[in-house]
């Protein structure tokens, strides 16, 4: 069963967590036990669910926009030498900048609402999607291109019937990475400035020394990220040629 190894790993992690808490005798405001975190999660499930919906919306919007922009950029880079000369160095330069430091600027420009968090998620996932898909487009098997040239296929037909289909596994890999990075971008945006979301809830709980609530929110974010990754992985399995 495919679900058995993750369940065993989760059970083992919870056991180790409980053993550490029991042996060290740490106070609950330093390291709460898994039972206390579960109780806190259940007690505050309505509040956690409300903040989870906000973060989920930010992540999904950021994932959709970032992936769409990445696909369009990769195609432009693959089909235009001028774009490669002008845009590709800029993309590399943006990765040299600490993306996390841009969160305050985005909050200043876009406010404390939804779109500053979406923009942060887009910035984080845009480059992996672009780089992965562009690499796939530029690595089309030479035999396919030679056959297309022999059949006198137009550049447009070569792009959409040969290069793009051959690069779909690379795009799938980029989307899977994006599914992991998108929640990070949204939460960082919430840490900088927000009034809703799991990142905001974690900061609020930490400031009030409610470590158990902070752990509950953090674990909720982790579960959401895993489910998102699994959903994207399943959706892109056929794209990557997997069964």
Q: Is residue 6 part of a domain?
A: no
For 169-208, the pLDDT digits (tens) are 999 999 999 999 999 999 999 998 888 999 999 999 988 8
**Cα–Cα dist 140/148, whole Å:** 12
Provide the pLDDT for residue 117. 93
Q: Tokens standing for 137? A: 């487009």
19 is a domain residue: no
Asked, for residue 25, whether it belongs to a domain, the answer is no
Q: What is the CATH number of the domain that holds 124?
A: 1.10.3720.10
In a domain, 22, yes or no: no
Vertex 128 angle, CA 126 and 134, to 5°: 95
| 83 vs 11: CA distance, rounded Å | 50
Length of the chain: 243
Task: Supply the pLDDT for residue 77.
Answer: 93
- The encoded tokens of residue 17 equal 């967590």
Does residue 12 lie within any of the structural domains?
A: no
Residue 172 lies inside a defined structural domain of this protein: yes
Question: Max alpha carbon distance in the chain (Å)?
Answer: 75
The closest alpha carbon to 165, from 233, 238, 231, 235, belongs to 238
Residue 11 lies in a domain: no
Q: What is the pLDDT of residue 104?
A: 86
The DSSP code sequence of 168-185 is: HHHHHHHHHHHHHHHHHH
Its pTM stands at: 0.89
Residue 30: partners with Cβ closer than 8 Å, 6 or more residues away? 211
Whole-number Cα distances in Å, 87 to 77, 80, 132, 170, 202: 8, 10, 16, 20, 38
The domain containing residue 147 runs over which residues?
31-235
| Tally of domains within the chain | 1
Q: Is residue 23 part of a domain?
A: no
Closest C-alpha among 103, 75, 81 to residue 192: 103
Burial of residue 17 (CB within 10 Å: 0-12, 13-18, 19+) is middle
The reported pLDDT for the residue numbered 150 is 85
Per the CB < 8 A criterion, the answer to whether 161 and 7 are in contact is: no
Q: Could you count the other beta carbons within 10 Å of the beta carbon of residue 172?
A: 22
pLDDT at 100: 77
Residues of the chain with confidence (pLDDT) below 50: 1, 243
């Amino acid at each position: 069963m495919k679900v058995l190894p993750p369940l065993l790993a989760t059970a083992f992690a919870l056991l180790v967590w409980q053993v550490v808490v029991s042996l060290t005798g740490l106070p609950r405001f330093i390291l709460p036990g898994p039972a206390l975190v579960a109780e806190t999660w259940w007690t505050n499930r309505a509040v956690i669910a409300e903040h989870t919906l906000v973060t989920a919306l930010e992540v999904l919007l950021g994932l959709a926009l970032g992936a769409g922009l990445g696909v369009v950029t990769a195609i432009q880079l693959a089909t235009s030498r001028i774009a490669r000369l002008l845009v590709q160095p800029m993309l590399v330069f943006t990765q040299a900048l600490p993306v996390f430091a841009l969160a305050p600027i985005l909050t200043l420009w876009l406010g404390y609402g939804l779109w500053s968090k979406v923009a942060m998620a887009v910035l984080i996932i845009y480059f992996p999607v672009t780089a992965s898909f562009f690499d796939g487009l530029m690595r089309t098997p030479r035999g396919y291109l030679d056959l297309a040239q022999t059949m006198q296929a137009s550049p447009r037909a070569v792009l959409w019937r040969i290069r793009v289909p051959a690069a779909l596994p690379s795009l799938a890999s980029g989307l899977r990475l994006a599914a992991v990075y998108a929640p990070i971008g949204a939460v960082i945006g919430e840490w900088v400035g927000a009034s809703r979301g799991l990142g905001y809830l974690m900061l609020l709980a930490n400031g009030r020394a409610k470590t158990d609530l902070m752990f509950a929110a953090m674990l909720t974010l982790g579960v959401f990220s895993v489910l998102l990754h699994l959903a994207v992985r399943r959706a892109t399995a056929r794209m990557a040629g997997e069964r």
